[in-house]
Structure 1
Amino acid sequence: MKLSIYHDGQFFIGIVEFKESKQSKFIKHTFGKEPGYDEILWFVDKQLLASLDGTKTTVAMKKDKKRINPKRLQRLVSREQKQFKHLSKAHAAIKEEQELNKKQRKVKSKVERDALKEKKRRMKRQKFKEKHKGH
């Protein structure tokens, strides 16, 4: 599991990458203007696992077969921390999750809207029947 925090110009954004065998899940969390150590720990302790369970999209990843020398790995990590990361796979996975949620929300709102229309139609019909009952 990997948490990357970057500044997008307005807010600090955290992107979590969770790898299981050959698949990865990504989560995006907005921390706000300037997150403190406590806020980041609270997110990791309280909210991270629930967010991971709620994520439905996964991305297939290639498995690295080569073992890397620990010193080289340490140098790579330090270089990676210094550079701005363009997390294209993470952004694509998060975007796909947002689109999925958007479709579900549209279907739900359409069902609710249709139910409300039907209820109004029944109420109108009921009023009409009560009004013209004795005639």
Structure 2
Amino acid sequence: MKLTIYHNGQFWVGVIEECVDSKLTAMRFVFGTEPHDADVLDFLDRTILTLLTKPSKAVTVKTVVERVVNPKRLARIAAKEINTHGISTKAQEALRVQLEGNKQERQITSRQMKEAAQAKKREMAIHKAKQKHRGK
């Protein structure tokens, strides 16, 4: 599991990447203004569990066999990751797939609500017309 916190130009965003059985899932959390250490710790203690339990779409990735890394090389890799900004393209793809799924669900529910409102409006108009003609 990997947590990357970066500034997207407007807000601070945390991206959690989890790779299980060559399937990469990515979750996104918006911290808002610059998060303090206490905010990040609170996120790790409480909020991350709810994000990990939510169903999300996964993207298949190739697994790399990890070897023992020289400590100096490990320090260079850590410094490079600190200096780089953003998230991996596979995580971006996983987020995009998840956002598209959420968008489709939202479109379906809004369409159903709109149709129900139109049907209710039609029924009210019919009922009102019947009430007008009842006295004659």
TM range, smaller chain = 0.7 to 0.9
Q: 1:73 maps to what in 2?
A: 74
Corresponding residue for 1:131? Answer: 132
Q: Secondary structure at the match of 1:132?
A: helix
> 1:55·1:97 contact (CA, 8 Å) conserved in 2?
no
Q: Return the alpha-carbon distance in structure 1 between the equivalents of residues 85 and 129 of structure 2.
A: 67
Give the letter aligned to residue 58 of structure 2. T
Structure 2, unaligned runs of 5 or more: none
- In structure 2, the residue matched to 1:109 is 110
Q: Percent identity?
A: 33
TM-score (norm 1): 0.88
Q: Distance in 2 between matches of 1:13 and 1:123?
A: 47
* Partner in structure 2 of residue 2 of structure 1: 2
Judging changes above 3 Å, is the alpha-carbon distance between structure 1 residues 53 and 90 closer, same or farther for their aligned structure 2 residues?
same
Shift of 1:8: 2.0
Across the aligned residues of Structure 1 and Structure 2, the Cα RMSD in angstroms comes to 1.8
Residue 134 of structure 2: SS of its match in structure 1?
coil
Number of equivalent positions: 135
Letter paired with 2:38? D
Residue 78 of structure 1: how far off its partner (Å): 2.9
Comparing both chains, which one has the higher relative contact order based on Cα–Cα distances under 8 Å and sequence gaps of 6 or more? 2
Consecutive unaligned residues of structure 1, counting only runs of 5 or more, are: none
